[in-house]
Structure 1
């Protein structure tokens, strides 16, 4: 059996771990897995889909580079009758017939959980008003769009006196997270700034560096991230970060592979399987240990 993995990056640590886990699963199952990478380039991914269709694999595992740009490619794969298991990134459409299975996060829900964590941490400090800034991922990706959506909705509902002063994308990159946060702190760093939310922990690690350089002391700002990557684990452990929302690349890849095996075996598979978000703080940090090989 031959399967093609169309994925977004290998420079992103989460993405690379996700790919390595799928490679290991495929090897154990005796499946020939071809990996194709686009570095979050939707145009390149569209060309790659055309090339993959010509090779007629038994299934495709696809991590979409863009939530809407992927739709024509999914339609082409459907017309070619190639089963598609979408992983990690849910397209911006209600037409679930475009894929065989989706496994991964509901990013809006992950954003909501991050918002709840921010509100809880602020209330613990006696803060019920003020402003926060947000460091987002690659523009156009569901993670960037929907985590911000869920976070915003939660603040509006649970803490209407806490507003979002501004956002800046950092492309899921730690160094860019420092630059993005520095720009936000220059624009909005004032007496009523109470927190920073970054849509991934590595970007928040960069934001923590920027806050330190801007003269903020640990604890001055409430820091909330997502994924509970090694950066988040370390910063929660040290007290530099108050919370994250667990999303393990191992679980993410495992769910995608389980769905792929069902497709290859001709078994029924759920059209959508979501990974439930879990808020991680210093009180339950052990729940994140497996995700970061601790």
Structure 2
């Protein structure tokens, strides 16, 4: 898939980073060659909001592989879906004088103070996957086009139910960039389709089991649901299982975003109608490439975005 460039903690946490012990800040991998103006390897920290689903692990694994290829040391850190924890991890990376820091923000506002700390220390810092509310704090941005992804998913869901009916929406963590922007895409499509009604909407926090329970509860109300539109494949898979368990697969369509292995398998099994691919691995690769350019003070665009693609039973074999 092609990438589209649209205009390119405490002492405990510090100890965890230094020693590699388990906990909030567990180093995940490092590169193996040399780079940088001093002859030493560049050291980059990748601070993920979490590492609990196929999207975040695919992204981070691709970033790690690219770091090896580029000859830089990459440490992957897990904020466990907590903005305060993420701030601490970023500030520790600043204290340890990493050459660059990439962050998948757990909150559009909550991690801004840590970005400000990095900038004051003259350490390049960049948002990936999700944006900050103030992108001027970020050296660049690499991620998907969540507005376009939201539009595309809702358009396909509306099309699948014939332009009228009831839909239920499963959101990611409320207030996160992807949740807000994908919802905006949904709303744009729904405004043009007055015969489609949103009868339920709730956050399942990107989590499959939460989505399963929520969807089960919705189905048990007896309210007609024609489609469940989930903001990621993890939640879509949970919703699809609830629908299947209720023997309603032929009556309730399910859609998702990210084209994860689980989502693709659900499409092949006929449990999901489709998903939106944003080239997750490609994001990880480009993030490392862009961060290296930023560190070396090379010119980069303000943002780089992938182009969303619809995946269904007709083309699912082309995706992995």
TM-score (norm 1): 0.89
Q: Does 1:140 align with 2:171?
A: no
Contact 1:8–1:63 (CA under 8 A) maintained in structure 2: yes
Please tell me whether residue 152 in structure 1 is matched to residue 187 in structure 2: yes
**Aligned mate of 1:32, from 73, 90, 113:** 73
Give the alignment partner of residue 175 of structure 1, picking from 182, 189, 209: 209
Equivalences for 1:45-194 in 2 at 5 Å? 45-93=86-134, 96-123=135-162, 128-157=163-192, 159-187=193-221, 189-191=222-224, 193-194=225-226
Written as runs of structure 1 = structure 2, the 5 A alignment for 1:215-234 is: 215-216=247-248, 218-234=249-265
Which portions of structure 1, spanning 4 or more consecutive aligned residues, are displaced by more than 6 angstroms? none
Unaligned stretches of 5+ residues in structure 2: 1-41
CA deviations over 1:225-278 (Å, ceiling 9, x no partner): 111111221122222211210023211101201211212333101111111111
Inter-partner Cα distance in structure 1 for 2:98 and 2:263: 38
Higher-helix-fraction structure: 1
For the Cα contact (< 8 Å) 1:168–1:181, is it kept in 2? no
- Cα 1:106–1:92 change in 2 (3 A) is farther
User: Retained in 1: the 8 A contact 2:170–2:229?
Assistant: yes
CA contact (8 A) 1:59 1:260 kept: yes
C-alpha distance in structure 1 between counterparts of 2:288 and 2:310, whole Å: 25
8 Å CA contact retained: 1:6, 1:63: yes
Q: CA deviation at 1:284?
A: 2.1
Contact persistence 2:53–2:234 (CA under 8 A): no
Please say if residues 128 and 142 of structure 2, whose CA atoms lie closer than 8 Å, have aligned partners that are also in contact: yes
Structure 1, residues 57-103: CA drift from partner, whole Å, max 9, x if none? 1111111111121222222222222111221011123xx32111100
Number of equivalenced pairs: 279
SS at match of 2:133: coil
In structure 2, the residue corresponding to 1:165 is in which secondary structure?
Answer: strand
How far, CA to CA, are the matches of 2:220 and 2:191 in structure 1?
25
Distance in 2 (alpha carbons) for counterparts of 1:196 and 1:11: 22
1:215 Cα deviation (Å)?
4.1
TM-superposed CA distance for 1:104, in Å, is: 0.2
**Distance in 2, Cα, partners of 1:167 & 1:119:** 16
2:317 paired residue among 282, 286, 291: 286
2:46 corresponds to: 5
Question: Which structure 1 residue ranges, 5 or more long, are not aligned?
Answer: none
Q: Is 1:6–1:36's contact at 8 Å kept on the other side of the alignment?
A: yes
| 2:57 corresponds to 1:16 | yes
Other structure's SS at 1:263 match: helix
Give me the whole-angstrom Cα distance separating, in 1, the residues matched to 2:240 and 2:115.
39
Please provide the CA RMSD for this pair.
Answer: 1.7
Question: Is the 8 Å Cα contact of residues 86 and 256 (structure 1) preserved in structure 2?
Answer: no
Structure 2 distance, partners of 1:162, 1:58, is 50
Superposition map of 1:260-275 within 5 A: 260-275=291-306
Q: Which residue of 1 aligns with 2:10?
A: none
Correspondence 1:203 to 2:235: yes
- Hey, what's the Cα distance between the residues in 2 that align with 1:170 and 1:28? 36
SS at match of 1:225: strand
